[in-house]
């Protein structure tokens, strides 16, 4: 009857339909079914007494019939269709509490107008079962059973705490025969009233204390039997009689003889007040919401208790069909019962016999048990309600104090107070609103900026000459790079705006001319975040800064464009990835560099820094083959045997990695003064990428044969060249390490 949120249990094979029907397993199933059936029938009477209390007590026999009908119909169908074989399903206290509120409101309004509220209350019970069943079928059909994992615990805890409070106050109404309220306190505190509800309150407190400490599956049914025997023992010891107990309202009866179902004739449908049902539609939605949350939480709790996987979607479908049938059969909303299902498991039940037998016992009580129920003590039923309600309150208010952060605990208490003073639906609304605000506040504390860097620390995959590298090292701070993450909304987007604004105004470590925003780790943005990006664009325009957006998801780009982010601005650029954005900014930085800083572009000048003199350079060039390649020319292909390397005189080459499915990824782009293919040549491996010219390019090819010949003929040149390659690889490693250090700090 109670639920808790939990992670899924690893899958275990479900036994076949025919297992568990032999020998001791059959006896275990029959014993567990008889015990569960008795408990379910008792709980059904208790819930009916909760709903039909106060001025509605005269309808209690029919109410018991509706509760038992729901238990029989839902119990049988779920027992057949559930993924957990010894399952028990029946009407539950969570939804019964809200039904009690609706029934009380409808009863007061219609009675005040001189009408009969019972047909309308029956319609509400049936309609809530039909709507809940339909929703269960939809959720199960769409495989949305895991939605419960996304409900914040404080909201669920507040619901359960509110349920516990209403069960507690409802128990007093059942025992005293008077609605629990501030106005009725003088009546409840009279001596003749105290005699009716204090014993039940004491019993409930005793059950709560004992069952929180001891957990044997036979304890609760044994205590209930003992409580009934104790009631009659005290009654007879005091010289009282059953008739006197009936007259004083200490027993459920007297009930009319005969069956308890159907609750009304077809002609009574004409007396349904649909306006009253419409006025209570909010509470009907609350019933459906509570039922959905409760079945999924109970199923998750059952996974933990039994260490078996429960197919949540299958449970929703089976319970949906069961509730549709119960709604058509004048039954109440019902679903998987955690306590009774766990009880069956502990009793050794492994088959569907237990659930089916439990449903049959409820059906037998429905048609033949009215006279027996008349003599059931109200203090015992009230004590059972006190036990259920106090269990919810202790779990959500006392136990949660030691488990939850104080803010989340405060939300549980707020929801409880709103439910107690105003109603269930306002409590649900407050819980959702406050949870949303808390989520927004907490999420805004997560930095939307995953990493920040400048262009001198992070480079594109374009390999440039030494002069260009020196220029980018000195002027790279003009480029500010921000890698964004998560879902960007009003809170996090404003912090991004402030960060960029501070960077622009501070001029530390230098003037900023380019800002790159990398969206590779961004999940999405909301409409309010778009406004922050528009402000960011205007900030860039007013300060002469170019704003680049890289790896932008198509949905986010469309959202920004609809919000007027770009609007033809020359200060906004979009790039397919961060690498291309870095390359574009680097090219502009190099183009804007003063003439005195422009590097040499001839290969001879680069080689002279290696071989010291022009004479050595001329000697080295004799071992090279000049190659003039047009744009789009393939220098070598991924997987080819490595037989040579190339030195770039002019133009550009790009290395592409060929991936599965015909996809490609740019690894790096190389310009004048750089070398390509050296790793494969020195290691003797196959080409790791395909290299293609981007424009007309002049190369110098050094083959493996020429390198070996140079080693023999001019070892001093070969040694200098080997040193050059070592330095080149070391520089690449230093750049890669520096970029990684910047990104991961």
**Together in a domain, 62 and 143:** yes
Beta bridge partners of 690: 656
Tell whether 410 and 474 lie within a shared domain. Answer: no
Of 573, 597, 621, the position where a domain reaches its end is 597
Verify that 625 and 715 share a domain, yes or no.
yes
- Residues pairing with 702 in the sheet: 645
Residue 511 is assigned to a structural domain of this protein: yes
Share of the chain above pLDDT 90, in %: 38
Q: Do residues 593 and 607 share a domain?
A: no
Domain boundary residue among 400, 429, 458?
Answer: 429
Residue 46 banded pLDDT, cuts 50, 70, 90: confident
Is residue 453 in a domain?
yes
Mean pLDDT of all residues belonging to the chain: 85
Report the C-alpha gap between 585 and 504 in whole angstroms.
Answer: 17
> For the chain, what is the domain count?
3
Cα 277 from Cα 121, distance rounded (Å): 9
447 vs 359 pLDDT, higher one = 359
- DSSP class of residue 600? P
User: Is residue 12 a part of any domain in this protein?
Assistant: no
Reported residue count of the chain is: 745
Q: Is 144 domain-assigned? A: yes
Q: What is the pLDDT of residue 72?
A: 96
- Shared domain check, 617 and 592: no
DSSP 238-302: TT--HHHHHHTT-BS----SS----SS-GGGGGG--HHHHHHTHHHHHHHHHHHHHHHHHHHHHH
Verify that 637 and 488 share a domain, yes or no.
Answer: no
Indicate whether 538 belongs to any domain. Answer: yes
Q: Is residue 14 part of a domain?
A: no
What's the rounded mean pLDDT across residues 250-256?
76
Residues 496 and 390 reside in one and the same domain: no
Same domain (yes/no): 148, 192: yes
pLDDT confidence tier of residue 273, bands split at 50, 70 and 90: very high
Question: What is the rounded CA–CA span in Å between residue 354 and residue 349?
Answer: 7
Q: Are residues 416 and 463 in the same domain?
A: no
Residue 98: inside a domain, yes or no? yes
**What digits encode the pLDDT tens for the residues 656-705?**
998 887 788 888 888 887 888 888 888 888 998 999 999 999 999 999 99
Report the alpha-carbon distance of residue 415 to residue 227 in Å, rounded.
Answer: 34
3-class SS of residue 189: coil
Q: Residue 301: pLDDT band by 50, 70, 90 thresholds?
A: low
pLDDT band at 739 (very low <50, low <70, confident <90, very high): low
At 205-230, the pLDDT tens digits run 999 999 888 877 678 778 888 999 99
Judged against a pLDDT cut of 90, whether residue 363 lies above it is answered with: yes
Q: What is the pTM of this model?
A: 0.62
Does any domain span residue 10?
Answer: no
Return the CATH number at 734.
Answer: 2.60.120.10
Domain identity same for 362 and 225: yes
Q: Which structural domain range is residue 493 located in?
A: 449-597
Nearest to 617 by CA among 496, 529, 720, 692: 720
Tell me, what CATH number does 521's domain have?
3.30.750.24
Cα dihedral 504, 510, 513, 517 sign:
negative
Handedness of CA 461, 465, 466, 469 (dihedral sign): negative
* Residue 170 shares a structural domain with residue 82: yes
Average pLDDT over residues 161-182: 82
For 10-30, give the DSSP string: PP-PPPPTTTT-SHHHHHHHH
579 and 618 fall within a common domain? no
Distance CA 132, CA 124 (A): 12
Final residue in a domain of this structure, among 544, 573, 597: 597
């Amino acid at each position: 009857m109670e639920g808790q949120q939990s992670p899924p249990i690893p899958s275990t094979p479900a036994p076949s339909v025919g297992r568990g029907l032999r020998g001791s397993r059959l006896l275990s199933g029959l014993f567990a079914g008889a015990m569960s059936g008795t408990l379910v029938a008792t709980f059904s009477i208790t819930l009916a007494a909760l709903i039909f209390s106060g001025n509605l007590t005269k309808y209690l026999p029919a109410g018991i019939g509706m509760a038992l009908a729901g238990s029989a119909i839902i119990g049988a169908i779920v027992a057949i269709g559930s993924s957990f074989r010894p399952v028990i399903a029946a009407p539950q206290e969570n939804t019964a509490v809200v039904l009690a509120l609706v029934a009380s409101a409808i009863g007061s309004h219609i009675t005040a107008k001189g009408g009969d509220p019972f047909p309308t209350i029956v319609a509400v019970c049936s309609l809530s079962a039909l709507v809940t069943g339909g929703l269960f079928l939809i959720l199960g059909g769409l495989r949305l059973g895991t939605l419960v994992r996304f409900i914040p615990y404080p909201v669920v805890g507040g619901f359960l705490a509110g349920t516990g409070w209403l069960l507690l106050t409802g128990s007093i109404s059942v025992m005293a025969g008077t609605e629990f309220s501030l106005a009725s306190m003088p009546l409840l505190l009279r001596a003749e009233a105290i005699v009716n509800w204090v014993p039940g309150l004491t019993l409930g407190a005793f059950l709560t204390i004992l069952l929180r400490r001891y957990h044997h599956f036979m304890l609760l049914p044994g205590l209930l039997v003992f409580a009934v025997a104790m009631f009659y023992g005290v009654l007879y010891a005091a010289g009282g009689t059953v008739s006197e107990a009936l007259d004083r309202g200490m027993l459920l009866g007297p009930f009319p003889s005969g069956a308890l179902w159907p609750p009304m004739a077809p002609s009574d449908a004409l007396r349904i007040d649909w306006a009253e049902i419409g006025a209570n539609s909010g509470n009907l939605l609350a019933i459906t919401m509570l039922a959905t949350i409760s079945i999924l939480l109970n199923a998750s709790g059952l996974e933990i208790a039994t260490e078996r996987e429960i197919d949540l979607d299958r449970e929703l479908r089976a319970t949906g069909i069961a509730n549709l049938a119960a709604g058509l059969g004048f039954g109440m909303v019902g679903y998987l019962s955690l306590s009774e299902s766990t009880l069956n498991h502990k009793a050794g039940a492994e088959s569907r016999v237990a659930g089916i037998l439990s449903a049959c016992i409820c059906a037998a009580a429905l048609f033949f048990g009215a006279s027996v129920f008349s003599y059931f003590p109200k203090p015992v039923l009230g004590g059972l309600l006190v036990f259920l309600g106090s269990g919810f309150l202790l779990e959500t208010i006392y136990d949660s104090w030691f488990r939850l952060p104080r803010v989340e605990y405060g939300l549980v208490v707020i929801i409880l107070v709103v439910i107690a003073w105003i109603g269930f639906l306002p409590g649900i609304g407050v819980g959702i609103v406050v949870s949303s605000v808390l989520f927004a506040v907490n999420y805004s504390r997560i930095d939307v900026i995953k990493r920040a860097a400048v262009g001198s620390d992070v480079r594109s995959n374009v390999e440039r000459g030494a002069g260009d590298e020196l220029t980018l090292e000195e002027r790279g701070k003009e480029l500010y790079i921000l890698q964004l993450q998560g879902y960007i909304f009003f809170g996090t987007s404003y912090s991004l705006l402030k960060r960029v604004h501070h960077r622009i105004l501070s001029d530390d470590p230098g003037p900023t001319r380019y800002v790159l925003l990398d969206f590779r780790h961004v999940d999405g943005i909301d409409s309010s975040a778009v406004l922050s990006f528009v402000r960011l664009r205007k900030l860039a325009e007013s300060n002469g800064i170019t704003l680049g957006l890289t790896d932008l998801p198509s949905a986010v780009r469309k959202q920004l464009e609809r919000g007027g982010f770009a609007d033809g601005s020359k200060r906004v650029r979009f790039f397919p990835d961060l690498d291309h954005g870095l390359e574009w900014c680097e090219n502009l930085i190099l183009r804007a560099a003063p003439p005195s800083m422009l590097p040499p572009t001839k290969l001879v000048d680069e080689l002279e820094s290696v071989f010291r003199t022009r004479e050595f350079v001329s000697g080295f060039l004799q071992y090279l083959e000049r190659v003039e390649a047009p744009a789009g020319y393939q220098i070598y292909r991924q997987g080819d045997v490595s037989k040579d390397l190339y030195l770039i005189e002019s133009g550009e080459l790009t290395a592409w990695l060929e991936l599965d499915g015909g996809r490609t990824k740019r690894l790096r782009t190389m310009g004048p003064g750089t070398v390509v293919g050296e790793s494969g040549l020195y290691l003797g491996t196959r080409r790791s990428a395909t290299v293609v010219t981007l424009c007309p390019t002049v190369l110098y090819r050094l083959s493996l044969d020429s390198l070996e010949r140079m080693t023999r003929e001019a070892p001093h040149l070969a040694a200098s060249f080997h040193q050059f390659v070592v330095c080149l690889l070391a520089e690449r490693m230093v750049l890669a390490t520096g970029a990684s250090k910047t990104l991961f700090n």
